[in-house]
A and B are shown apart, each in its own frame.
Chain A
Amino acid sequence: MKTYQDILAELLETIRPLAPNADQLEENSELMGNLGLDSMKVMNLLQEIEDHFDVSIPLNVLPDVRTVGDLARKIHQILSQQ
């Protein structure tokens, strides 16, 4: 079972090549703020992340996801419910 820290580390690695401002990438980076991703890019990025972790992230949870850490927590939650 992956821990929150495992998921966060994998997330950072997945996002790094895709984010225009990757040098600012850390747990509290806002996906649509300081990383320079627009909403369409975030949606595409999410699909890659879903494949990577073999989960589906419901659209309903996205309003609560602002930072990379928020996303890691959601994925952790979904994985632990399976």
Chain B
Amino acid sequence: MTLLDKFQGLRAARDQLKGLGVDPFNVVVEKILSPTEAIVNGHRVILAGTNNYLGLTFHPECIAAAEKALREEGCGTTGSRMANGNYADHLALEREFAEFYGKPYSVVFSTGYLANLALLSALPGEDDVILLDADCHASIYDGCRMSQAEVIRFRHNDMDDLGKRLRRLKSRAQRTLVVVEGIYSMLGDQAPLKAIAKVKREYGAFLMVDEAHSLGVLGETGRGLAEAEGVDAAVDFIVGTFSKSLGAIGGYCVSPHQELDILRYTARPYIFTASSSPAQIASTRVALRLLRDGNDLRKRLWANAHRFYQGLEALGCQLGPQMSPVVPILLDESREQSLRVWHDLLQRGVYVNLVMPPATPDHRCLLRCSMSAAHTEEQIDVLVETFAAVFSSHRLIPSRCVFCFVSFAPTPVRVPWL
């Protein structure tokens, strides 16, 4: 056995993908044309899998702010905030996040991934407990691995299981950080946050909510699920990312607890990495303002999500448990067949994410789609028509279903195995 032998399995899997002429995990975006269109692997496609929920990546005000910062402050900060100092704009963005959430403390991180690593590695210590939803994102699991705390999972969105596990912890429940997400990234469903807030209070535990996919998407002012459910006050730590609704890259955490500020002196993913570039911070400051004032964007996003969801539902597709801008299409097909379907979609001008087990929650392959406020109704109709044609050609739906959709038949044919 050598150092490299353990990669044989992965290499074989990668070579198999190459043999099939399809690698959904390594596409080349040759040219990005707009928030919703690109040339990918030589095909002009509609982007329906890029988490660009509010479509702000090309917003002229964001670009202008980034350009100005780039010229005035340079391409990068060349180091961490602890070593190289805090740029005024980083601090201004932190104040703006704090004000947006109405919480006194806020920290920005270089990515959303690092925000989760920082919080989870530094906040719960040796005798503490992290109690996380089983469907949490890999960055949360990785943060748990960096932590000295005991890590316990509860069944996804299962309040009985969460309650049971808090009960088993007895007095240690007060040393427990419950971790959930606003919108879960694979199935697009939401945490039952009201119930979670209630049980958290009952046991005296702490609550962290990752609003990565719900920032800008849920709540009156776009703060996320905690705002939508009216339980802001019960959440001890809200984390999120700039890389979805805010159209840039970075992460943040806000909290009513001053200990968040202390993490600057102890959280390694904050200390030992370069801070975000001035251009990223500048565009994010503008995007945050647009998001906050972006009721029309949110309305358009949800209208698009409804149109897409209903279109796919009419085809008989098996979708996620809850209407959401994250729309997973669950496939009861082999990996090879799912790859072919994904590849056909790409060739016909549709880019979505193919997710395979074990990255999926229920052992099935899924085509993960995400909607944007920037999609037009015409684009969504083209997406649904392309899904209909591809699914039909792969016999995943009977061909009459295509007709059902096109003719807007009131009773769509439901196919239980799709």
A residues whose Cβ falls under 8 Å from a Cβ of B? 39-40, 43, 47, 51, 54-60, 82
Contact across chains for A40 and B357 when beta carbons are under 8 A apart: yes
Chain B residues, CB < 8 A from A55 = 168
Interface residues of B in 320-376 (CB under 8 A from A): 357-358, 363
Closest 6 CB pairs of A and B: A59-B151, A58-B150, A56-B152, A56-B165, A56-B168, A58-B152
Contact residues in B for A51 (Cβ distance below 8 Å): 164
In the complex, what residues of B have CB within 8 A of residue A59's CB? 144, 151-153
Expressed in whole angstroms, the minimum distance between the Cβ of A38 and any Cβ of chain B is 8
For residue A60, which residues in chain B have a CB less than 8 angstroms away from its CB?
A: 150-151
B33 within 8 A of A: no
Query: How long is the Cα–Cα vector from A57 to B164 in the complex, in angstroms?
Result: 13
B363 touches A40 (CB 8 A): yes
**Chain B interfacial positions (CB closer than 8 Å to A):** 134, 144, 150-153, 155, 164-165, 168-170, 357-358, 363
Q: Which residues of A contact B165 (CB under 8 A)?
A: 56
Query: Across the two chains, which residue of chain A brings its CB closest to B154?
Result: A56
Question: In the complex, what distance in Å separates the CA atom of A55 from the CA atom of B161?
Answer: 11
Q: Is the interface of B mostly helix, strand, loop or mixed?
A: mixed
Chain B residues with CB below 8 A from A47, complex form: 155
Given A59-B152, A59-B153; A54-B357 close (CB under 8 Å): no
Residues on A with beta carbons closer than 8 Å to the beta carbon of B358: 39-40
Report the bound CA distance from A61 to B357 in whole Å: 24
How many inter-chain contacts with C-beta < 8 Å in the A-B complex?
25
The CA-CA distance from A40 to B360 in the complex, in Å, is 11
Q: Complex: how many Å from CA A57 to CA B151?
A: 9
In the complex, A47→B160 CA distance in Å? 13
**Which residues from chain B contact A39 at a C-beta distance below 8 Å?**
358
User: In angstroms, how far is the closest chain B Cβ from the Cβ of A79?
Assistant: 11
Shortest B124–chain A CB gap in Å is 12
10 contacts between A and B (CB under 8 A): A39-B358, A40-B357, A40-B358, A40-B363, A43-B134, A54-B164, A56-B168, A56-B169, A58-B152, A59-B153
Given known pairs A39-B358, A40-B357, A40-B358, the reply for A58 and B363 (CB within 8 Å) is no
Residue of A nearest to B168 (CB): A56
Most interface-central of A43, A54, A56, A59 (chain B CB within 10 A): A56
Chain A nearest Cβ from B330, distance in angstroms: 16
Min Cβ gap B159→A in Å is 15
Distance between A56 CB and nearest chain B CB, rounded to angstroms: 5
Shortest distance in angstroms between B238's beta carbon and chain A's nearest beta carbon? Answer: 24
B153 to chain A: which residues have CB within 8 Å?
59
B199 to chain A, nearest CB (A): 15
A residues less than 8 Å from B152 (CB atoms): 56-59
A54 near B168: Cβ-Cβ < 8 Å: yes
| A61: nearest chain-B partner, CB-CB | B150
Closest to A41 in B: B363
Q: Which of B134, B168, B170 has the most CB of A within 10 A?
A: B168
Residues of A close to B155: CB separation below 8 A: 47
Kindly report which residue of chain B lies nearest to residue A51, judged by CB atoms: B164
Q: B169 to nearest A CB, angstroms? A: 7
Bound-state CA distance A66–B152 (Å) is 19
| Smallest beta-carbon distance A45→chain B, Å | 13
B151, B164, B170: the one within 8 Å of A58 (CB): B151
Interface centre among A39, A54, A59 (most CB of B within 10 A): A59
A54 partner residues in chain B, CB cutoff 8 A: 164, 168
Determine which residue in A39, A40, A55, A60 has the highest number of CB atoms from chain B within 10 A of its CB, and name it. Answer: A60
Closest chain B residue to A54 by CB distance? Answer: B168
Chain B residue at minimal CB-CB distance from A55: B168
CA distance A59 to B151 in the complex (A): 5
Nearest residue, chain A, Cβ from B169: A56
Across-interface contacts of A43 in B (CB, < 8 A): 134
Smallest beta-carbon distance A10→chain B, Å:
18
Q: With A40-B363, A47-B155 given, can you name 8 additional A-B contacts, CB distance below 8 Å?
A: A39-B358, A56-B152, A56-B165, A58-B150, A58-B151, A59-B152, A59-B153, A82-B170
Query: Closest Cβ of chain B: how far from A6's Cβ, in Å?
Result: 19
CB distance from A25 to the nearest CB of B (A): 23
A59 to chain B minimum Cβ distance, whole angstroms, is: 4
CB distance from B244 to the nearest CB of A (A): 27
Which residue on B lies nearest to A59, using beta carbons?
Answer: B151
Roughly how many angstroms separate A47 CA and B155 CA in the complex, as a whole number? 8
Given the complex, which residues of B lie within 8 Å of A58, measured CB to CB? 150-152
Q: Which residues of A contact B150 (CB under 8 A)?
A: 58, 60
Q: Whole-angstrom distance between the alpha carbons of A40 and B150 in the complex?
A: 20
